Structure 1
Amino acid sequence: MRKILIVGGGYAGFYTAWTLEKKLRRGEAEVTLVDPRPYLTYQPFLPEVVAGSVEARHAAVSLRRHLRRTRIVAGMVTAIDHEHRVVTVRPADGDIVELGYDFVVVTAGAVTRTLPVPGVGERAIGLKHVEEAVAIRDTLLTAFDRAATLPPGPLRAKLLTVTFVGGGFSGVEGFGELLSLATALLRRYPELRRDELRFHLVEASGRILPEVTDRPGRWVVRSLERRGARVHLGTQVVSAAGGHVVLSSGEEFDSELIVWTTGNGANPVTGRHTDLPVDERGLIVVRPDLQVGTQAEPVPGAWAAGDDAAVPDLASPVPGARTVPNAQHAYRQGKLLARNIVATLRGRRPKEYVHRSLGTVATLGIGRGIFQYRRLVITGLPAWLLHRGYHVLAVPTWERKIRVLALWLTAALFGRDILSLASVQHPRQAFVAGGEPAVLAAKEPS
């Protein structure tokens, strides 16, 4: 049998494997998927995990449960040697192994882009994985508990200060949802005042949400500022050492929670550890049919899609445009890639990827959102309902759709859950302490 090896179990990789299972005849090919995590993260739900509107486990889809005919290998691909049709895999335990293949599908995704800013590596939390979303939520809840026991002063002010760096979709949605949670928490903490809560959103460019046009972007800024937030445009974080944030504008403040969402960087395996062709950003060069290479020089047996691939956007009027890295494209690219591999196996021509955007929708907290489709802009509650409706339909598998919808209905009746489980990050602390209460188990950010 032909061997198809998928590098990465994210959105594009999951849908490639899922569609291959449906399209391949039994015995036609063997599918292997390699990923260090045993689940797909549905990233559009991470801001709602931050706010407690979605259970963390419901934002993840088990690979082994839903990919029944695919071999799952738990490990990190560290190199792709396409000349010899082999990938190098570093498992969590044991020796490094090499896996051979006939077809390789590179859907390793992107990584959070970091900058050499003092203190960021030690203090900041990203927002790309479920674990990070949970840590952000628990850090805020723990900070509220600690601040409520302190008199007004520098430490209390630091605990009630939150800083998000990056004004893209991930940053703005996470910022808006966490602000919504923090505002709601004040009703449960009579010791704290609304004017003590300080939320800062720092963006290096002159605008936020580059996926929408200028006017809706300005509306989002005004909306956040009306809710008490500070939006720093055209500003960079110079230092975050010890939780002391220094901005390029000269402003300084202490912040207990710092969230870093400055966009995507090239995955190291595609940027530096493969002989497949990559562009200047470290993304794999692919043709419109998702085969690696160019029209003049295709690379047989190699395919790529998702955030680690420079996929030509045939629906864009701009020559040379590439599809933006989002779930909307990764989902459709993964399904088409699988169908194109099957077509190639059976001697048929693969089809080109063409998808016109369905619009852009973002949540800014419960009951608040923004939606744009071309010139049509919807804000407020209708946009928030559109956001929820779209994503409950888009999250993979009916099992996850039903679980998320049930949780939303429960929250509508009883309100959001404000329980912090920060202590699970230190499960042995109570045992080691001999039963002594570990009140400050999550004092330091993850």
Structure 2
Amino acid sequence: MREILIVGGGYAGFYAAWGLEKKLRRGEARVTVVDPRPYMTYQPFLPEVVAGSVEARHAAVSLRRHLHRTRLIAGTVTGIRHQDRTVTVRPDSGPDYELSYDVLVVTAGAVTRTFAIPGLGEEAFGLKHVEEAVAIRDRLLTSFDRAATLPRGPERRRLLTVTFVGGGFSGVEGFGELLSLATALLRHYPELSAEELRFHLVEARGRILPEVGDGPGAWVVRSLRRRGAQVHLNTQLVSAEHGHIVLSNSEEFDSGLLVWTAGNAANPIVHNHTDLPVDERGLLTVRADLRVGTQDAPLEDVWAAGDDAAVPDLAAGRPGAHTVPNAQHAVRQGRLLAKNILATLRGRAVKDYVHHGLGVVATLGLGRGIFQYRRLVIKGFPAWLMHRGYHVLAVPTWERKVRVFAVWATAVLYGRDVVSLASVQRPREAFVAGGNPRRGERSADVPVR
């Protein structure tokens, strides 16, 4: 059998493997997916995971539950040598080893782009994975618990200060949802007041949400400011050492929570550890049919899609345009990958990727959103409903759709959970604190029955 190796189990990789499973004939080819995580993260739900509107596990789609005929390897690809048709895999345990392939699919995804800013690596959270979204929510809830026991002063002010850096979709949606959660929490904390909340959104450009027009983007800024947030445009983060935020506009303050969402960068595997062609941004050079290579010189049996591929945007109508790195494109590219790979296996013609956008929609917190399709702009509650409706339909598998919808329906009756589970990040702390007596000894603080 021909070996089809998929590097990365994100949107494009998951949908490519899923599509191949459904269409491959028995004995025609074997599909292998290599990814360090056992699930695909549905990233549009991460802001709602931050706010507690979606359960963390419901934003993760298990690979083993849905890819029944695919070989799954828990590990990271650290090198690709197409000249030898091998990749190097670093498993979760054990030594590195090599895998051979006949057909290679690179869907490794992008990584969070960071800069050498003092304190950033020590203080900031990203917002690309479920674990990060859960940690951000727990940090806020824990900060409220601690602030409620303190008198007014610098430490209480620090705990109730939140800073997001990056005004793209991920940053604005996460910021809006966390602001909505913090405002809702106040009714459970009579010791705290809305005037004590400090939410800062920092964006280096002169506007936020570049995917929408200037008018809708300005409306979002006004909306956030009306809710008490401070939006700093044309501003950069200069330092974050020990939680002390210094901005390029000379403002300084202490922040108990810092979230970095300032864009993506090429995956180091693609950029530095492969003999495949890459462009000046470190993305794989890809043709419109998703084969790696140029229009005149495609590489045989190598495909790529998603955030680490520079896929030509034929729908844009201008030369040199590439598809933007978002879920809408990655899902559709993954489906086309499966169809085109099958076509080449069976000697049929492949198709180019052409997708005309359905518009953009963003949540800004519970009951608030914005939608734009060309000149049509919808704001507020209707846009928020459109956001939820679109994504509950877009999340893969009916099992996940039902689970997400059930949580939303429950929240209508009982509201969101406001319990912090930050202690799960240190699961042995209580055990160790209990003294862990040796055999034959009794802990003085633990009753014996």
TM-score for both structures, normalised by structure 1: 0.97
User: What does 1:11-90 align with in structure 2 at a 5 Å threshold?
Assistant: 11-90=11-90
User: Which residue of structure 2 aligns with residue 137 of structure 1?
Assistant: 137
User: Which SS does the other structure have where 1:54 is aligned?
Assistant: coil
Q: Which residue is 1:288 aligned to? A: 288
Q: Distance in 2 between matches of 1:165 and 1:397?
A: 33
Cα deviation code 1:133-181 (max 9, x no counterpart): 0000000000000000000000000000000000000000000000000
Distance of 2:269 and 2:335 partners within structure 1? 23
Alignment of 1:267 onto 2:272: no
1:1-12 alignment to 2 at 5 Å? 1-12=1-12
Deviation string 1:89-119 (CA, Å, 9 cap, x unpaired) is 0011001011000000000000000010000
The answer for the alignment partner of 1:248 in structure 2 is 248
Gaps of 5+ in 1: 437-446
Which residue does the alignment assign to 1:370?
A: 370
Structure 2 unaligned spans of 5+: 437-449
Q: Counterpart of 1:145 in structure 2: which amino acid?
A: D
Tell me the equivalent position of 1:91.
91
What is the CA distance between 1:435 and its match in structure 2?
7.0
Deviations 1:287-336 (A, max 9, x none): 00000001111000100000000000000022210000000000000000
- Displacement of 1:349 in angstroms is 1.2
2:90 is paired with a residue whose SS is strand
1:203-236 deviations in Å (ceiling 9; x for gaps): 0010000100100000000000000000000000
Task: Output the amino acid matched with 2:182.
Answer: A
412-421 or 45-54: which moved more? Answer: 412-421
* Identical positions, percent: 77
Supply the distance in 2 between the matched residues of 1:320 and 1:291 (Cα, whole angstroms): 17
| 1:394 aligned partner | 394
1:315 pairs with 2:315: yes
Which segments of structure 1 move beyond 4 Å, counting only runs of 4 or more?
A: none
Letter in 2 for 1:86: T
Q: CA deviation at 1:23?
A: 1.2
**What residue identity is the alignment partner of 1:174?**
G
1:222-237 to structure 2, matched below 5 A, reads 222-237=222-237
CA distance, structure 2, for counterparts of residue 84 and residue 358 of structure 1: 41
Amino acid of the structure 2 residue aligned with 1:200: H
Superposed CA RMSD in Å reads 0.7
The one-letter amino acid paired with 2:50 is V
- Distance in structure 2 (CA, Å) of the matches to 1:141 and 1:261: 21
Aligned to 1:303: 303
**Paired letter, 2:32:** T
Q: CA deviation at 1:76?
A: 0.4
SS in 1 for 2:142: helix
Q: Distance in 2 between matches of 1:346 and 1:379?
A: 48
For normalisation by structure 2, the TM-score amounts to 0.97
Corresponding position: 1:324 with 2:361: no
**Distance (Å, rounded) in 1 between the aligned partners of 2:26 and 2:399:** 26
How many pairs does the alignment contain?
436
How far apart, CA to CA, are the structure 2 residues paired with 1:345 and 1:124?
A: 46
2:442 matched residue in structure 1: none
Name which one, 1 or 2, has greater alpha-carbon Rg: 2
Query: AA paired with 2:14?
Result: F
CA distance in 2, matches of 1:254, 1:77: 39
